[in-house]
């Protein structure tokens, strides 16, 4: 099995879609969604740079979509994905913090194994998004190639 450069964009488009959906949920539903672990974590970073969370999510999604569809250079594409990468890494960090602390962002306590099983997709998305970003920039050589 050989991987090609067209094998990774689905993961990147997933991040575009989820960040856009989260922004729309925040705009439509107010602050209730901020108690979710991923949004709570990203919000703390958005406040740090002085942006509203929906604006930050929409901007990173739009820039990533531009990079995936319009940017011609692999490096330009990769640069366009860096804000999205930051949000993905922040989400994974919040998931890991929830596992270690034994509670979600809203304070609900659960066993670490339960939280890990629940938050593992966020952690794995960060790992594979990073690999896709490096591959997109031509900085990663897959062992299967």
Tell me 104's DSSP state.
Answer: -
32 burial level (CB within 10 Å; 0-12, 13-18, 19+):
exposed
Token output for 138: 């031509």
Residues 6+ apart with CB under 8 A from 6: none
pTM for the whole thing? 0.84
The pLDDT of residue 99: 97
Q: H helices of 81-111, where?
A: 82-101
Structure confidence at residue 13 (pLDDT): 93
Mean pLDDT for back-to-back runs of 10 residues, the chain (145 residues): 56 94 90 88 74 89 94 87 94 96 94 97 95 81 57
Q: What is the pLDDT of residue 119?
A: 96
Give dist(CA 71, CA 123) in Å, integer: 28
């Amino acid at each position: 099995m050989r991987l090609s450069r067209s094998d990774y964009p689905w993961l990147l488009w997933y991040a575009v879609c989820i960040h856009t959906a989260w922004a729309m949920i925040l705009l439509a539903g107010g602050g209730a969604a901020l108690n979710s672990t991923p949004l709570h974590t990203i919000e703390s970073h958005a406040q740090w740079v002085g942006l509203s969370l929906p604006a930050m999510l929409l901007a990173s999604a739009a820039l990533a979509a531009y990079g995936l569809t319009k940017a011609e250079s692999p490096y330009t594409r990769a640069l366009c994905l860096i804000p999205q990468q930051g949000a993905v890494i922040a989400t994974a960090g919040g998931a890991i913090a929830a596992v270690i602390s034994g509670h979600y962002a809203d304070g609900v306590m659960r066993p670490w194994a339960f939280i890990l099983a629940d938050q593992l997709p966020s952690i794995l998305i960060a790992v594979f998004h990073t690999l896709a970003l490096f591959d997109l920039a031509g900085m990663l050589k897959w062992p299967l190639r």
